């Protein structure tokens, strides 16, 4: 039986690297994406057995339709990776509250909606991997709203792991450090990027593929890792 993964935020960045990594492991992959049709189709074209569905992760009807497609096309859902996210960086005193609401709608409500659907539909032996951030440790200036939203993801993931007792389903969060994606690089000049890269003793930014390797482990053989937040940052935090 082919294992099946649902990957939100799977059209670009870390989400795409995860989807491609799971595809190489032999899983059928259903990508959820917010709005970039061209990027989603490029991602699907790069994989062996994949579909793409436009879905707002905070919309429970759209998320249910994403899981419906996975079940209809491939027979069920075994792995859910919730890589969709939004980041706005401003000091607390200056943070636009509408931007805060949009960020929390995706990062908190979106994670909750996807996790709820995963809890209802994952087959025995399944895995849910949500995304946090190493900023829940670093707590750098301007990251308060973003870090707060991701701290909620860590709490949700541990509680859900405990609620799924007896079903042989793992729930974990992956917390990347600085990673070379559009989301991270946007608005940062070269000097800032170089300074941040030096935070790690590896003296480089993470790559989406670095994060995808950790997700693949949690989605596969790492069955005794459950209810954890895995900081994947090259010791930058």
Report the SS3 class of residue 35. coil
Classify residue 132 as exposed, middle or buried by CB count within 10 Å of its CB (0-12, 13-18, 19+). Answer: buried
Is the distance from CB of 52 to CB of 38 less than 8 angstroms?
no
Given strand 229-232, what is the order of strands in its sheet? 50-54, 28-33, 4-8, 79-82, 127-131, 170-176, 229-232
Enter the DSSP assignment of 207: -
Alpha carbon distances (Å) from 148 to 65, 107, 128, 185: 29, 10, 21, 21
Residue 7, classed as helix, strand or coil, is strand
Provide the annotated active-site residues. Answer: 146
CA 232 – CA 237 distance, rounded (Å) = 9
């Amino acid at each position: 039986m082919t294992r099946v993964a649902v990957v939100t935020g799977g059209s670009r960045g870390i989400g795409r690297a995860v989807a491609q990594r799971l595809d190489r492991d032999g899983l059928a992959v259903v990508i959820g994406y917010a709005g970039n049709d061209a990027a989603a189709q490029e991602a699907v074209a790069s994989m062996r057995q994949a579909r793409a569905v436009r879905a707002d992760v905070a919309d429970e009807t759209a998320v249910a339709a994403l899981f419906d497609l996975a079940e209809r096309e491939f027979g069920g859902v075994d792995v859910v990776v919730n890589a969709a996210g939004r980041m706005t960086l401003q000091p607390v005193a200056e943070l636009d509250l509408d931007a805060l609401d949009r960020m929390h709608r995706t990062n908190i409500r979106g994670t909750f909606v996807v996790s709820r659907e995963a809890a209802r539909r994952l087959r025995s032996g399944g895995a849910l991997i949500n995304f946090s951030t190493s900023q829940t440790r670093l707590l750098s200036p301007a990251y308060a709203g973003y870090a707060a939203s991701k701290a909620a993801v860590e709490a949700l993931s541990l509680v859900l792991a405990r609620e799924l007792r007896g079903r042989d389903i793992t729930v974990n969060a992956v917390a990347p450090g600085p990673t070379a994606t559009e989301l991270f690089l946007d608005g940062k000049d070269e000097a800032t990027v170089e300074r941040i890269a030096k935070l790690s003793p590896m003296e480089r930014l993470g790559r989406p593929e670095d994060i995808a390797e950790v997700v693949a482990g949690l989605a596969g053989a790492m069955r005794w890792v459950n209810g954890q937040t895995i900081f994947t940052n090259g010791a930058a935090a």
